[in-house]
């Protein structure tokens, strides 16, 4: 991405080559999110089948978990395989959670969840005793969705061949997954790698996590939309508002709004275009307006990009990674986001770790969550 960063170094041991990938057993990946429930049968990064459903309003575990079981069965049927053929199930879910106990605490976007013993529930459901057989217990692994996506990029995507990698995903929120010496950094109870909640501006506004001036508060899709809507409310956004109205008119006339492939929900256009008086500006609209040259929109994107740059400097100084992999819908904004971010990185990073790092875009795209979930099985079972 940046010509200044050194060329890729020779791969180290630890990552899988393509030949090894073909010999991997089949696994099930489940990607549980506030917007979608997805299940897939996979081999490495290859999706053999994929089932996706909207999560819907009712996220209570007693209603949602049986739907996941159905989605898994559907994915198995579509792949023309059975549970007996799979090596394990990896589940990526929003944190906080502890992968060692498989307990999911209270994810903000999953109302009704409070200390859900997700791994135990799955083990119970997939217990061989339930089937009356004597097969071995199917192994179940639960992991924070950003850690899982990072692991997917590490084993099968942009982080292949390195042993120190940081994954940063920027969409509605900002998450991270850190690999040090080939291992996911978990911390004392599983919450390490919350890169979105590092402080960038100690005088900044209050983040939903309780801290102030977090990267997520300054540079997420939600933040970009918030800055735009605040400027409009303060009477500074006439041009942006007109652009949004025109865009909305376009949608009402039945034209499909072009959404980025990743993370359309949250980062892209939200809600029904019903009210022409006060369109709710989304990050995707700000991005389009910036591309059309509207100064306010450009300033908002540049501001977010510089915050991301500062975050990357911190990440490089703390972890000295070989590769930083950037995922999530916001990173699809291209040069207008990456240029200011990389400029800050060049200006502010110590030379030795700067020379060692490559900053690249994620490769697994919209299936990062599913591939990452499946990757949990390979990682924890050391396949
Ligand atoms: Zn925060």
Q: Assign 87 to helix, strand or coil.
A: coil
Report the pLDDT value the prediction gives residue 116, as an integer from 0 to 100: 96
Q: In sequence order, what are the residues at sequence separation of 6 or more whose Cβ sits closer than 8 angstroms to the Cβ of residue 143?
A: 90, 91, 92, 93, 97, 99, 151, 184, 372, 373, 376
**Given a cut of 60, is residue 176 above it in pLDDT?**
yes
User: Residue 244 Cα, ligand 1 centroid: separation in angstroms?
Assistant: 29
Evaluate whether 243 touches 285 at the Cβ level (below 8 Å). yes
Does residue 286 contact residue 294 with C-beta atoms inside 8 Å? no
CA of residue 214 to ligand 1 center, whole Å: 5
Tell how far the Cα of 24 is from the centroid of ligand 1, in angstroms: 38
Per mean pLDDT, which of 214-218, 269-273, 274-278, 328-332 is the most reliable? 214-218
Each residue of 105-142: pLDDT tens digit? 988 888 899 999 999 999 999 988 776 666 788 999 99
Residue 95 Cα to ligand 1 midpoint, Å, equals: 14
Give CB contacts under 8 A, 24+ apart, made by 103-109: 104/142, 107/34, 108/208, 109/33, 109/34
Residue 149 dihedral angles phi and psi, to the nearest 5°: -65, -40
Please tell me the distance between residue 91's alpha carbon and the centre of ligand 1 in angstroms. Answer: 24
Q: Is residue 199 over pLDDT 90?
A: yes
Kindly report the pTM of this predicted structure: 0.87
DSSP H or E segment with residue 183:
strand 183-184
- pLDDT at position 277 is 54
Secondary structure of residue 60 in the 3-state scheme: coil
Percentage of the chain surpassing pLDDT 70? 87
Percent of the chain with pLDDT over 90: 77
Which are the contacts of 200, defined by CB distance < 8 A and separation ≥ 6?
213, 214, 215, 218, 219, 307, 310, 311
Residue 211 pLDDT > 60, yes or no? yes
Q: What is the distance in A from the centroid of ligand 1 to the CA of 319?
A: 20
CA of 215 to the centre of ligand 1 (A): 7
pLDDT digits (tens, 9 = 90+) for 212-271: 999 999 999 999 999 999 999 999 999 999 999 998 888 777 665 444 433 333 344 333
Query: Cα of 197 to ligand 1 centre, how many Å?
Result: 4
Determine contact, residues 42/27, Cβ cutoff 8 Å. yes
Q: How far is the CA of 92 from the centre of ligand 1 (A)?
A: 21
Does residue 4 or residue 129 have the better pLDDT? 129
Residue 6: pLDDT band by 50, 70, 90 thresholds? very low
pLDDT (0 to 100) of residue 4: 35
Residue 203: predicted pLDDT: 97
Cα 326 to averaged position of ligand 1 atoms, centre (Å): 19
Instruction: Give 269-278's long-range contacts (Cβ < 8 A, gap of 24+).
Output: 273/248, 276/245, 276/248, 276/249, 276/252
CA distance from start to end of the chain: 32
Q: How far is the CA of 327 from the centre of ligand 1 (A)?
A: 19
Regarding predicted confidence, which is higher, 133 or 177? Answer: 177
Question: What confidence tier does 17 reach under pLDDT thresholds 50, 70, 90?
Answer: low
Q: Give 222 Cα–ligand 1 centroid separation in angstroms.
A: 12
Q: What is the pLDDT of residue 256?
A: 53
Q: Which of 33-37, 70-74, 117-121, 138-142 has the lowest average pLDDT?
A: 33-37
Query: From the CA of 154, how far away is ligand 1's center (Å)?
Result: 25
pLDDT, average across residues 169-174: 94
Look up tokens 């299936």; give the residue.
367
Give distance in angstroms: CA of 40 to centre of ligand 1: 31
Contact between 240 and 291 under an 8 Å Cβ cutoff? The reply is: no
Whether the pLDDT of residue 348 is over 90: the answer is yes
Sheet containing strand 323-327, edge to edge, reads: 183-184, 174-180, 165-170, 323-327, 358-361
């Amino acid at each position: 991405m940046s010509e200044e960063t050194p060329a890729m170094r020779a791969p180290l041991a630890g990552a899988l080559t393509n030949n090894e990938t073909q010999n991997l057993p089949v696994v099930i990946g489940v990607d549980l999110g506030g917007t979608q429930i997805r299940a897939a049968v996979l081999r490495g990064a290859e999706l053999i089948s994929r089932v996706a459903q909207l999560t819907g309003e009712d996220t209570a575990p007693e209603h949602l978990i049986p739907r996941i079981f159905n989605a898994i069965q559907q994915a198995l049927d579509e792949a023309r395989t059975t549970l007996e053929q799979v090596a394990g199930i990896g589940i990526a879910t929003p944190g906080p959670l502890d992968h060692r106990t498989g307990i999911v605490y209270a994810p903000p976007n999953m109302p009704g969840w409070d200390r859900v013993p997700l791994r135990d529930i799955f083990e119970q459901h997939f217990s061989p005793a339930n089937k009356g057989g004597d097969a071995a217990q199917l192994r179940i692994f639960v992991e924070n969705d950003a850690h899982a996506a990072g692991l997917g990029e590490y084993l099968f995507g942009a982080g292949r061949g390195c042993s120190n990698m940081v994954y940063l995903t920027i969409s509605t929120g900002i998450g991270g997954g850190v690999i040090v010496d080939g291992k996911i950094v978990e911390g004392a109870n599983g919450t390490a790698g919350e890169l979105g909640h590092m402080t960038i501006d100690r005088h900044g506004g209050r983040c939903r996590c309780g801290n102030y001036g977090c990267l997520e508060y300054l540079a997420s899709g939600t933040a970009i939309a918030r800055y735009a809507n605040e400027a409009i409310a303060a009477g500074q956004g006439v041009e942006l508002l007109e652009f949004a109205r025109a865009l909305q008119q376009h949608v009402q006339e039945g034209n499909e709004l072009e959404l980025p492939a990743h993370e359309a929900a949250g980062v892209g256009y939200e809600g029904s275009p019903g009210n022409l008086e006060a369109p709710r500006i989304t990050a995707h609209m700000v991005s389009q307006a910036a591309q059309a040259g509207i100064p306010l929109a450009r300033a908002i994107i540049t501001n977010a990009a510089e915050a991301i740059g500062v975050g990357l400097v911190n990440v490089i100084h703390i972890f000295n990674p070989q590769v930083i992999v950037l995922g999530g819908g916001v990173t699809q904004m291209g040069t207008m986001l990456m240029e200011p971010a990389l400029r800050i990185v060049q200006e502010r990073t110590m030379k030795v770790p700067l020379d060692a790092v490559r900053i690249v875009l994620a490769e697994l795209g919209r299936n990062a969550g599913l591939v990452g979930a499946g990757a949990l099985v390979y990682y924890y079972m050391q396949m």
